[in-house]
């Protein structure tokens, strides 16, 4: 009887799920300045609460696949509706969870300098008419980005207004450097633009209608987690369900990073130190990693 009982206990233990390592939070930064900003701010708070944070630089497709496989815990950069086509299959098979909407009022679509808009390039349908002055190019962001992929599909679609154009894939910084060169010379240029971003203060821009099928209108940014994360790690799950940002916050920090050369971690730390009320709302009802007072921990870390 004793041997049988022992074997039964071993069988139960072998069948039990392995508990998540909630002491380390694995996050993705896809290299966009806004996501670098929000990820850095969240990392500071997590570390103040006693957690280890591992931030990996990954593309959007790899980020989603890694969340789905359980190799990542959190991603703060699901731009909706632009990324809905990528995200929806993972939501359907229940391998990724949406924890929160962390930003509202976003814009993401093709943009032109307002001087180009005033010449008559006022929608997607007008782009091909300006092919010569645009040198046949549309400037996108990093290779593999879902926005680029959509634009490439339109260059191959008769009647889209983009047919025959070439999508130039680059980094955020590379694309904006090209825009700056054209803007300084008052030359025509069309590119992927978005808000929040300092580009909206640095250039007088107009966003083009016509891509709503993919880009939508006013959008949101969502916080994603691997399936079951909030249940396995309820403390950090609650924290991420409460972390949210504003357009003003992101524009301000991104401007320091892009225009003034500030280190992202230093810029976000300065914002956290100056915005006690926002941080306290994030940690309301949350504890430190060892069950202590979260408000006291962040107060000590950020000098409140």
Same domain, yes or no: 50 and 178: no
| Span 79-105, pLDDT tens digits | 999 999 999 999 999 999 999 999 999
Inter-CA distances, 22 with 43, 50, 144, 230, 237, Å: 14, 11, 31, 10, 10
pLDDT at 20: 56
Phi, psi of 177 (to 5 degrees): -65, -40
| Span 146-193, pLDDT tens digits | 899 999 999 999 999 999 999 999 999 999 999 999 999 999 999 999
SS3 state of residue 60:
helix
| Span 54-75, pLDDT tens digits | 999 999 999 999 999 999 999 9
274: tokens are: 């100056």
Could you give the percent of the chain with pLDDT greater than 90? 90
Same domain, yes or no: 99 and 26: yes
Distance CA 208, CA 108 (A): 10
Same domain, yes or no: 136 and 208: yes
Inter-CA distances, 140 with 42, 73, 83, 96, 149, Å: 28, 28, 15, 27, 9
Inter-CA distances, 141 with 170, 172, 177, Å: 5, 5, 12
CA-based torsion, 224, 225, 230, 234: positive or negative: negative
Same domain, yes or no: 255 and 286: yes
**pTM of this prediction exceeds 0.95:** no
Same domain, yes or no: 275 and 251: yes
What CATH number should be reported for the domain holding residue 266?
3.40.190.10
Among residues 215, 236, 257, the one where a domain terminates is: 215
Inter-CA distances, 111 with 87, 179, 190, 299, Å: 24, 10, 6, 42
Judge whether 202 and 259 are in contact, CB under 8 Å.
yes
| Span 99-122, pLDDT tens digits | 999 999 999 999 999 999 999 999
Whether 69 maps to a domain, the answer reads yes
pLDDT at 144: 84
Whether 79 maps to a domain, the answer reads yes
What CATH number should be reported for the domain holding residue 119?
3.40.190.100
Same domain, yes or no: 116 and 264: no
Whether 26 maps to a domain, the answer reads yes
Distance CA 127, CA 201 (A): 24
Whether 9 maps to a domain, the answer reads no
Q: What DSSP character marks residue 30?
A: -
| Domain, as residue range, for 224 | 15-105+218-302
The size of the chain, in residues, is 304
Same domain, yes or no: 46 and 192: no
SS3 state of residue 253:
helix
Same domain, yes or no: 88 and 38: yes
Same domain, yes or no: 95 and 231: yes
Mean pLDDT of the chain: 93
pLDDT band of residue 8 (cuts 50, 70, 90) is very low
Distance CA 47, CA 265 (A): 12
Buried/exposed 146-166: b ≥16 CB within 10 Å, e otherwise: bbbbbbbebbeeeebbbeebe
Distance CA 43, CA 277 (A): 18
Whether 125 maps to a domain, the answer reads yes
Whether 4 maps to a domain, the answer reads no
pLDDT at 145: 87
Among residues 195, 215, 235, the one where a domain terminates is: 215
Segment 254-266 mean pLDDT: 95
Whether 196 maps to a domain, the answer reads yes
| Span 224-259, pLDDT tens digits | 999 999 999 999 999 999 999 999 999 999 999 999
Same domain, yes or no: 111 and 211: yes
Of 111, 13, 41, 108, nearest in space to 257 by CA: 41
Judge whether 195 and 167 are in contact, CB under 8 Å.
no
Domain count, the chain: 2
Same domain, yes or no: 169 and 158: yes
Segment 281-302 mean pLDDT: 98
pLDDT at 141: 93
Same domain, yes or no: 146 and 284: no
Whether 290 maps to a domain, the answer reads yes
pLDDT at 6: 39
**10 has pLDDT over 90:** no
């Amino acid at each position: 009887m004793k041997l049988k009982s022992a074997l039964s206990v071993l069988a139960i233990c072998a069948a039990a799920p392995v508990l998540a390592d909630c002491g380390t939070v694995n996050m993705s930064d896809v290299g966009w300045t806004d996501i670098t900003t929000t990820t850095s701010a969240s990392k500071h708070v997590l570390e103040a609460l006693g957690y280890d944070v591992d931030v990996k630089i990954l593309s959007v497709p790899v980020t989603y696949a890694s969340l789905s496989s359980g190799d990542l815990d959190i991603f703060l950069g699901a731009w909706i509706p632009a990324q809905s086509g990528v995200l929806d299959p993972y939501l359907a098979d229940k391998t990724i969870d949406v924890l929160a909407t962390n930003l509202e009022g976003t814009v993401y679509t093709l943009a032109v300098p307002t001087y180009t808009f005033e010449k008559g390039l006022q929608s997607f349908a007008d782009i091909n008419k300006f092919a010569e002055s645009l040198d046949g190019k549309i400037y996108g962001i990093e290779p593999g980005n879902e926005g680029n992929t959509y634009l490439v599909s339109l260059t191959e679609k008769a009647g889209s207004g983009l047919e025959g154009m070439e999508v130039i894939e680059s980094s955020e910084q590379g694309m904006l450097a090209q825009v700056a060169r054209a803007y300084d010379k008052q030359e025509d240029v069309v590119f992927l633009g978005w808000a929040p971003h300092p580009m909206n203060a640095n250039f007088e821009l107009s966003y083009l209608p016509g891509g709503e099928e993919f880009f939508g209108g006013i959008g949101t940014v969502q916080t994603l987690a691997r399936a079951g994360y909030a249940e396995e790690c309820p403390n950090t799950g609650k924290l991420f369900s409460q972390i949210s940002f504003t357009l003003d916050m992101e524009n301000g920090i991104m401007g320091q990073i892009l225009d003034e050369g500030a280190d992202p971690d230093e810029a976000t730390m300065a914002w956290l130190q100056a915005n006690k009320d926002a941080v306290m709302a994030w940690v309301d009802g949350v504890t430190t990693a060892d069950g202590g007072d979260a408000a006291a921990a962040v107060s000590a870390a950020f000098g409140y």
